[in-house]
Amino acid sequence: MGKEIKFSLIYRDMWQSKGKYVPRVDQLIKIAPSIIEMGCFERVETNGGGFEQINLLFGENPNKAVRAWTQPFNDAGIQTHMLERALNGIRMYPVPADIRELMFKVKKKQGTDISRSFCGLNDPRNLENSIKFAKKGGMISQASLSLTFSEVHNVEYYSELAEKLIELGADEICIKDMAGIGRPVSIGKIIKNIKTRHPKIIIQYHGHSGPGFSVASILEAARAGVDYVDVSMEPLSWGTGHADVITVQAMLKDAGFSVPDINMKAYMEARALTQEFIDDFLGYYINPKNHFMNSLLIGPGLPGGMMGSLMSDLENNLRSINKSLKKQGKPELNQDGLLIELFNEVSYIWPKLGYPPLVTPFSQYVKNVALFNVMQMSKGKERWTMIDDNTWGMLMGKSGKLPGPIAPELIELAKKQKREFYTGVPQDLYPDELHIYKKEMQEKGWDFGQDDEELLEFAMHPQQYKDYKSGKAKDAFEADILKKKSENTKVKQEPNKTDSSFIGTPKVLNIDVDGEKFVVKVDYSQKQKSVTEASPKTEKKISATAKKIIAPIEGKFFLTKDNTETPVKIGDYIEKGNIVCYIEAMKVSNAVTSDYSGKIIEMPINNGDTIDEDDVLIYLE
C-alpha cells in the first residue's frame, strides 16, 4: 500500500469562498455529527479568518460559537484548525503583540488545536510571533507559504521561505494556494525540496479550484510527499471553492495512495444540511457564478476566499460606475463587463504595487485599488486618486517587505503626500494596547469573559463588538435578510393606505415571503434611529456657499479608525488634505480627506451609519 494521505475538511473556508457569510452556531452544531460520521476527516477547519466577525454581525457571541462548534470534533478525536493572518491576527489590519499573544491562548482553550498562520507578504518577521505565540499557547504551529505566480515567486523563493519558517520553530508547513494559480509541477517541486531537507515535517496542501489546476496540483503534491490535503464537499465544492473529497479520494486511491473510506450516507446527510442552510438564508449571499470554475482567474490571480464576497458586493460598485457613465453619456457596463475591467486593472497594477501575494488582506488591497481606479476613471479622473490608508501602509513597508519594487509613479505620489518608507520590524509600529481595552471594558461594566475571551474579542474587533453588544449588528443583519428576501421574491405589503400616520412613520408591515407570513414592527425609538436622525439635521439652514465633503464610495461611516484617534466635531477647523473620517467598504477602512480648509459647521451623518456614494458627510465654512 502506498503513502497515507489524510484529509481535512475546510468547512469555514467552503462558505467564505462561495459567499459572504458562514452558518450560525445552531446550524454548525447541527451538521457536526454528520461530518464526524463520514469517517474520512482527520482534521476540520472550524474557525479563524472572518469567522468571529461574522458571528458578531449575526448578533451571536463568537466565543460561545467557537467553543460549541469545536467541542464535537474535540470529543471525536478530530483535530481542529483555524486560520490567522500573522501581523493582522483575525482582522484586516495590524494587531498589537499583546492582543496577538492572547488570541492563541484563548483559541486553544476554546478547543482549536492548530493555528494555520500566514503572512500576506510572506515576511518571516511577521510569522515569527505567530509561531512563538501559538506554541506558547499550546497550539500546533502551522506556518504557511502564501502561493502565487510571478517573476519573483518561484520554486527557489518558496523553498527558502519554508526553510526560514522551520528554523523559526514551525511544527508544520502549509502550501496555501489561495487563488489556485500555483502550477502543479512547481508545487510538487516545492514540497519535494522541503521533504528532502526535513523528511519528518508535516506538510498540508490547501488549493482553490477556481482556475482549474487544483486536482492536478493535489496529485503532484501527493507524489512529492504531502501528508494532508484540504478538501470540500457538495454543494460548496468546485467553483471559487475547493476540490470535492469524493473526487480527490478516488483519484489518489487510483494512484496507489492509502486514503480513508467515505461513509456516503453521512456525506449525503451533510450535503443535505448544507443545502438547507443555503436555502435558509446563506444562499442570498452566494453569487451563482461562484459555483463555476473560470480560467480567466489565472491572469489576475485573485483568491477564491475573496471572490466569494467580491461577487456578492460587486452589484453596488456596478451601480456607482454606471451612474457616472450615464452622466457622461457613455455606454453602461454589465457585471461581466465590470469583472473583466477589474481583472485587467488588477493585472496592470499588481506589478506596480510590488507583487504582494494575492491573499487576505493584500488581495483586498490590490483589488480595492484596482476597483477604485476603474471607478475613478469612469468619472474622468486619473488612476491612483483614491488609495486607502491600509494600502499605503503596505506600500510604505508598515506591513512587511514587498517581494518586488514599487512603481516610480507611486513613489513620487508618496513623496508628494509626505509619506515615509519604513524598513524596520512591522510589529514595532503597533505598541501594546490590551490595557486600553481593559480600561474601557471596566468603565462600561463589561465582563472579560472566560479565559479573557470577551476582552480578546473587543480588542480584536472593537467596532463590531460594540455593535454586537448594543444589538445594532443583529438588527442590521435581520433587516438585510428581510431586504434580500424581498428583492428575490414577490413581496406583498398590506398597510392601511388611508391611514395618514403610515406616510413617513410606518408602524407595522404585513409581509408575505414565499407563502411565509411576517409581521414586521418598525421601531423609531432612539435605539433604531441612526438613519432617520440624519434628516432633521440636514434641515438646518446651510449657507449656499458652504463647502461639502462628499462620500466617494458607499459603505459605513466612522469618525475614527480606532481608539487612538480623536474624532472631528462641529466647530473644529480643518486643513485641506486632513483626514476627517473613514468609510468602511470592501473590508477596509478608507480614509476620507478634505478637499478644502475651513470650520466644520454641520455633520449630518451619525457614526456607524450606512451611507451612499455622493452623500454629504461634512459642511465647512
Question: Considering only 112-116, 237-241, 483-487, which range has the smallest mean pLDDT?
Answer: 483-487
> What percentage of the chain has pLDDT greater than the value 90?
61
Q: How confident is the model at residue 303 (pLDDT cuts 50, 70, 90)?
A: low
Question: Considering only 18-27, 167-176, 306-315, which range has the smallest mean pLDDT?
Answer: 306-315
Q: Radius of gyration over alpha carbons of the chain, in Å? A: 25
* Of 606, 73, 120, 619, the residue nearest 403 (C-alpha): 120
Mean pLDDT of the region 510-533: 45
- Rounded to whole angstroms, how far apart are CA atoms 220 and 273? 33
* pLDDT value at residue 496: 45
- Rounded to whole angstroms, how far apart are CA atoms 208 and 158? 18
Q: How confident is the model at residue 306 (pLDDT cuts 50, 70, 90)?
A: low
What pTM was computed for the model? Answer: 0.78
Q: How confident is the model at residue 381 (pLDDT cuts 50, 70, 90)?
A: confident
pLDDT of residue 293 exceeding 70, the answer is yes
Task: Give percent helix, percent strand, percent coil of the chain, each to the nearest 5.
Answer: 45, 15, 40
Q: Measured between alpha carbons, how far is residue 480 from residues 281, 339, 553, 610 in Å?
A: 11, 25, 19, 12
Does residue 270 or residue 594 have the better pLDDT? 270
Mean pLDDT of the region 588-593: 79
Query: Which overall architecture, per CATH, does domain 1-485 show?
Result: Alpha-Beta Barrel (3.20)
Question: Considering only 79-83, 217-221, 528-532, which range has the smallest mean pLDDT?
Answer: 528-532
The tens digit of pLDDT for each residue in 249-266 reads 999 999 999 999 999 999
pLDDT of residue 516 exceeding 60, the answer is no
Does residue 320 or residue 176 have the better pLDDT? 176
Q: Of 33-37, 304-308, 563-567, which one has max mean pLDDT?
A: 33-37
* 3 state SS of 26: helix
Contact 394, 362 (CB under 8 A): yes
Question: Considering only 175-179, 208-212, 243-247, 538-542, which range has the smallest mean pLDDT?
Answer: 538-542
pLDDT of residue 292 exceeding 90, the answer is no
Q: How confident is the model at residue 311 (pLDDT cuts 50, 70, 90)?
A: low
pLDDT of residue 376 exceeding 90, the answer is no
* 3 state SS of 526: helix
Which residues, 6+ apart, have CB-to-CB distance to 370 below 8 Å? 342, 345, 346, 348, 349
Q: What is the DSSP letter of 430?
A: S
- Rounded to whole angstroms, how far apart are CA atoms 569 and 445? 27
* Of 313, 334, 316, 333, the residue nearest 377 (C-alpha): 333
Largest CA distance in the chain: 83
Average pLDDT across the chain, whole number: 87
> In this structure, what C-alpha cell is assigned to residue 1?
500500500
* pLDDT value at residue 327: 79
pLDDT of residue 526 exceeding 70, the answer is no
* pLDDT value at residue 502: 33
The tens digit of pLDDT for each residue in 356-370 reads 987 778 888 888 898
Which residues, 6+ apart, have CB-to-CB distance to 84 below 8 Å? 48, 49, 90, 103, 115, 116, 117, 118, 130
Q: What residue ranges do the domains of the chain occupy?
A: 1-485, 489-528, 534-620
Contact 472, 126 (CB under 8 A): no
Mean pLDDT of the region 553-570: 85
What single-letter amino acid sits at 102?
Answer: L
* pLDDT value at residue 517: 46
Handedness of CA 23, 27, 31, 32 (dihedral sign): positive
* pLDDT value at residue 407: 96
The yes/no answer on whether domain 534-620 falls in CATH 2.40.50.100 is yes
The tens digit of pLDDT for each residue in 468-477 reads 999 999 999 9
DSSP letters, 492-514, are EE---TT-GGGSS---EEEEEET
- Rounded to whole angstroms, how far apart are CA atoms 221 and 559? 48
What single-letter amino acid sits at 478?
Answer: E
Cβ neighbourhood burial of 173 (10 Å; 0-12, 13-18, 19+): buried
Beta-ladder partners of 257: none
Q: How confident is the model at residue 580 (pLDDT cuts 50, 70, 90)?
A: very high
